[in-house]
């Protein structure tokens, strides 16, 4: 049975403007969009608008969106004539949003019924302009909470949150799984033509927010597919992740110089994240692999000796120092064990 939020959680203004604008970009998402929308229609928090952005889809996404708009008056449809990418779609949603708060949901993901209500309650009760929740990674029939689900809720300064994410703890940089005060985006936009746009923009949002709230409740289901960008083979575009993390670290280190060592650890992690796609790579990619190994080696000692560095990264940094074949062998074993 659906649980309804209290009246104070329904509308933020007497003029019936929505309290929250939920932005869902979609490209060729006709197959998965109904489940995503259904999870939003079942929200205990009712005072939201749902902005569906068709980013130049060539399948039946537009038809599915029209059907969803017929089912629920809170749905608003926006569209790009041609595919312009995820950042452009999110920016279109931000331009059209009427809510006091912004939430993002990817079209191939689903959210739990309390998703909006819990995040909204955190923003209001703790007087913050950004709130985040834990999420569940769904892949191959397996469900795994990304972060410790027993941690409860907490309020953090931007510096505290920055330190946590630099060491790969909650919160992460994903735009989804969060609720933002609309004003945080004033004058900002996701970088069009780039991927890893979340890492690119999140530090600016965090610094503007000054403090944020987090709950370890896993209220968002992040659904991974085998052919997604995060699981394929190496392509040059993956280096944009290194660029995005370098920018993130530059902004955070400038704001908080005492986080310099944590930034070194995060930069090394970004390079190892790309390096794993070069295991057993072709001859023409060995120069790229060697350059990444050199860059990782520069910060390897910091990674290995920093007690807050995840163990996987410590082992990875040590393996890089031992030589490419050592890293490649250990990563291959790790992948087999993980599967």
Contact between 82 and 157 (Cβ < 8 Å): no
Residue 228 scores a pLDDT above 80: no
Residue 6 scores a pLDDT above 60: no
Mean pLDDT of 107-130: 98
Over the stretch 264-289, which tens digit does the pLDDT of each residue have?
999 999 999 999 999 988 999 999 99
Mean pLDDT of 304-317: 96
Tokens of 160: 């505290």
Over the stretch 55-67, which tens digit does the pLDDT of each residue have?
999 999 999 999 9
Mean pLDDT over the full length of the chain = 93
Confidence of residue 338 (pLDDT cuts 50, 70, 90): confident
Cα–Cα distance, 6 to 71 (Å, whole number): 23
Over the stretch 235-270, which tens digit does the pLDDT of each residue have?
999 999 999 999 999 999 999 999 999 999 999 999
CA distances from 159 to 178, 250, 255, 310 (A): 18, 14, 8, 20
Which residue, 204, 215, 295, is CA-closest to 244?
A: 204
Residue 227 scores a pLDDT above 70: no
Give the model's pLDDT for residue 217. Answer: 98
Mean pLDDT of 130-149: 95
Give the model's pLDDT for residue 11. Answer: 42
Structural domains in the chain, sorted by start: 7-223 (3.90.550.10), 233-338 (no CATH)
Residue 339 scores a pLDDT above 80: no
The DSSP letter of residue 100 is S
Mean pLDDT of 289-316: 97
Over the stretch 188-198, which tens digit does the pLDDT of each residue have?
999 999 999 99
Give the model's pLDDT for residue 15. Answer: 61
- The secondary structure element, H or E, covering residue 337 is helix 324-338
Contact between 127 and 46 (Cβ < 8 Å): no
Which residue, 122, 105, 104, is CA-closest to 212?
A: 122
């Amino acid at each position: 049975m659906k649980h309804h939020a209290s009246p104070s959680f329904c509308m933020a203004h007497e003029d019936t403007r929505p309290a929250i604008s939920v932005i869902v970009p979609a490209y060729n998402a006709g197959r998965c969009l109904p489940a995503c929308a259904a999870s939003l229609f079942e929200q205990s928090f009712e005072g939201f608008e749902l902005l569906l952005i068709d980013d130049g889809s060539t399948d039946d996404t537009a038809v599915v969106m029209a059907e969803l708009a017929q089912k629920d008056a809170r749905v608003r449809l926006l569209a790009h004539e041609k595919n312009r990418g995820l950042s452009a779609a999110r920016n279109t949603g931000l331009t059209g949003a009427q809510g006091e708060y912004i939430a993002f949901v990817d079209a191939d993901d689903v959210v739990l019924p309390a998703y909006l209500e819990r995040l909204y309650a955190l923003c209001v009760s703790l007087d913050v302009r950004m709130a985040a929740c834990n999420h569940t990674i769904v892949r191959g029939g397996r469900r795994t909470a990304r972060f410790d689900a027993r941690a409860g809720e907490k309020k953090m300064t931007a510096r505290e949150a920055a330190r946590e994410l630099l060491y790969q703890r909650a919160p992460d940089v994903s735009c989804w799984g969060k609720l933002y005060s609309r004003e945080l985006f004033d004058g900002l936009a996701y970088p069009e033509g780039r991927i890893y746009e979340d890492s690119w923009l999140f530090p600016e949002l965090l610094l503007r927010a000054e403090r944020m709230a987090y709950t370890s409740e896993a209220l968002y289901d992040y659904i991974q597919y085998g052919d997604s960008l995060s699981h394929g083979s190496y392509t040059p575009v993956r280096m944009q992740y290194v660029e995005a993390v370098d920018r993130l670290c530059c902004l955070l280190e400038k704001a908080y110089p005492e986080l310099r060592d944590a930034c070194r650890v995060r930069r090394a992690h970004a390079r190892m994240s790309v390096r794993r796609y070069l295991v057993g790579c072709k001859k023409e990619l060995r120069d790229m692999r060697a350059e990444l190994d050199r860059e990782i080696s520069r910060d390897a000692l910091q990674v290995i000796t920093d007690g807050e560095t995840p163990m996987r990264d410590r082992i990875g940094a040590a393996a890089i120092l031992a030589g490419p074949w050592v890293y490649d062998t250990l990563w291959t074993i790790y992948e087999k064990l993980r599967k």
